[in-house]
Amino acid sequence: MSMALKQVFNKDRTFRPKRKFEPGTQRFELHKKAQASLNAGLDLKQAVQLPHGEDLNDWVAVHVVDFFNRINLIYGTISDSCTDQTCPVMSGGPKYEYRWQDEHKYKRPTALSAPKYMSLLMDWIEVQVNNENIFPTNVGTPFPKTFMQVAKKILSRLFRVFVHVYIHHFDRVSQMGAEAHVNTCYKHFYYFVTEFNLTDHKELEPLKEMTSRMCH
């Protein structure tokens, strides 16, 4: 890891506090299990598989929070070169434009600059993962019926961050020596969402060629 990159990751430049798992909870144990698989150098395709006897909702919840923290950090590393001037539209190349929609201010899909879209996205995800009614932290509290639907929406929107970073800011990633780190995170994310069918295939289209080179 380059010195420039070390400084960035040491500063932990996320935009907001990380959602952490409370020690002693089952989710914390699962989080440790997932990290141990990665640290042991287990093949990423194997590392994402549901451990025997574990609940799929718990496994997905742990990964959604982990990917949110990691992708938020990746975007933080290039955010100084992603401005309203350089990226007036949140896009992934000329063919893909992403519009923001939520239940509050933007009730219709609205074109926004990339940094504005990213800020709204990270705020929205933070609210979801900290909502006990969607991501219950107490053992024995059931997940709501809508949990998988919310998880899919979060992961689909996080995928768009990869699309934007790879297509518009990869020179900055390379310049910082972060290419291997970002690629590993992307592969981990891709294997996870495809293992459990958590992202629509049309969402994956913008990075299809790169993914086939990297993940197959």
Count of the separate structural domains present in the chain: 1
pTM of the model: 0.84
User: Residue 95: what pLDDT?
Assistant: 93
- Give the model's confidence band at 4: pLDDT under 50 very low, under 70 low, under 90 confident, else very high: very low
8 found inside a domain: no
SS (H, E, C) the chain: CCHHHHHHHHHCCCCCCCCCCCCCCHHHHHHHHHHHHHHCCCCHHHHCCCCCCCCHHHHHHHHHHHHHHHHHHHHHHHHHHCCCCCCCCCECCCCCECEECCCCCCCCCEECCHHHHHHHHHHHHHHHHCCCCCCCCCCCCCCCCCHHHHHHHHHHHHHHHHHHHHHHCHHHHHHCCCHHHHHHHHHHHHHHHHHCCCCCHHHHHHHHHHHHHHHC
Question: Does the annotation flag 31 for ligand binding?
Answer: no
Q: Is residue 29 predicted with pLDDT exceeding 80? A: no
208 found inside a domain: yes
CATH number, position 141: 1.20.140.30
185 found inside a domain: yes
60 found inside a domain: yes
In terms of pLDDT, which residue wins out, 14 or 41?
Answer: 41
11 found inside a domain: no
Q: Is residue 31 predicted with pLDDT exceeding 90? A: no
pLDDT digits (tens, 9 = 90+) for 173-216: 999 899 988 999 999 999 999 999 999 999 999 999 999 988 86
User: Residue 13: what pLDDT?
Assistant: 41
In sequence order, what DSSP letters do the residues of 31-86 get, joined into one string? HHHHHHHHHTT--HHHHTSPPTT--HHHHHHHHHHHHHHHHHHHHHHHGGG--TTT
Give the mean pLDDT of 76-82: 93
40 found inside a domain: no
Question: Does the annotation flag 181 for ligand binding?
Answer: no
Q: Which residues pair with 111 in a beta bridge?
A: 99
- Give the model's confidence band at 24: pLDDT under 50 very low, under 70 low, under 90 confident, else very high: low
62 found inside a domain: yes
User: Residue 85: what pLDDT?
Assistant: 97
pLDDT digits (tens, 9 = 90+) for 87-98: 999 999 999 999
User: Residue 214: what pLDDT?
Assistant: 87
53 found inside a domain: yes
- Which range marks the domain in which residue 173 is found? 49-82+116-215
In terms of pLDDT, which residue wins out, 19 or 85?
Answer: 85
Amino acid (one-letter) located at 20: K
